[in-house]
Copies of this chain bind each other. A is one copy, B any other.
């Protein structure tokens, strides 16, 4: 179950998934407009005209890539947190969520990464639904952070919305620079979690704290 979802039955279904995989990868790498159907076809080992047996349009191809990608990220993050059990600290939950988000986007899945990478290139016709999904996902993290604050693990004066945006920034920017192999994703997740909670300042600072 690396790309697509593997459980293809008929030959037609298999081809369809191969095309989707190729589309996800190509969209992710080149962007929506810069991707030609011929690029997707080549990556899938077929011809541009043949895509139309499986899909109605380039836009529909993108739509399905984005939907699948989003679904997997959201599911995986919820699952991983659920697996921790009710006794886990919120810091541990956050760490697990960050790790899941990063693993999916950086290793597994062009579908997921396309959601972030094409964030601002989605054609108007399908943008509304995808923005709604992103909002739902953001709200999930917002709730997680709010609970952590209520439990006393995050400072009472912290603006939770800003904290979420800063965290998303760290995580989502990593798909711009991360290349597999050099750095372990687990270390990356730990680092982001530690930075978010503890900061990078020296334990005994010389200056002031805040306003």
A residues near B, CB below 8 A?
30-34, 89, 91-92, 117, 119-121, 152-156, 158-159, 162-163, 165-166, 168-174, 176-177, 188, 190-192, 194-203, 205-207, 209-211
Bound form: Cα–Cα A156–B204 in Å: 12
Q: Are B176 and A166 in contact (CB under 8 A)?
A: no
Bound form: Cα–Cα A176–B195 in Å: 22
Can you list 7 pairs linking A and B with CB atoms under 8 Å apart?
A: A152-B202, A153-B206, A163-B195, A169-B174, A197-B199, A198-B210, A199-B199
Oligomeric state, in copies: 2
Q: Are A155 and B203 in contact (CB under 8 A)?
A: yes
Q: Are A89 and B200 in contact (CB under 8 A)?
A: no
Given A120-B117, A173-B172, does the pair A209, B198 have CB atoms closer than 8 Å? yes
Bound form: Cα–Cα A163–B195 in Å: 8
In the assembled complex, which residues on chain B have CB atoms less than 8 Å from the CB atom of A155?
200-203
A169's nearest neighbour on chain B, judged by CB, is: B173
**Smallest CB–CB gap between A119 and chain B, Å?**
6
In the assembled complex, which residues on chain B have CB atoms less than 8 Å from the CB atom of A195?
162-163, 166, 196, 199
Kindly list the 8 A-B residue pairs having the minimum CB-CB distance in the complex, ordered from nearest: A169-B173, A199-B199, A33-B33, A197-B201, A33-B34, A169-B170, A198-B199, A169-B169
Q: Are B31 and A120 in contact (CB under 8 A)?
A: yes
Bound form: Cα–Cα A53–B173 in Å: 38
**Smallest CB–CB gap between A167 and chain B, Å?**
8
In the assembled complex, which residues on chain B have CB atoms less than 8 Å from the CB atom of A209?
198
A168's nearest neighbour on chain B, judged by CB, is: B173
Q: Are B169 and A171 in contact (CB under 8 A)?
A: yes
Q: Are B201 and A119 in contact (CB under 8 A)?
A: no
Q: Are B120 and A176 in contact (CB under 8 A)?
A: yes
Bound form: Cα–Cα A58–B95 in Å: 45
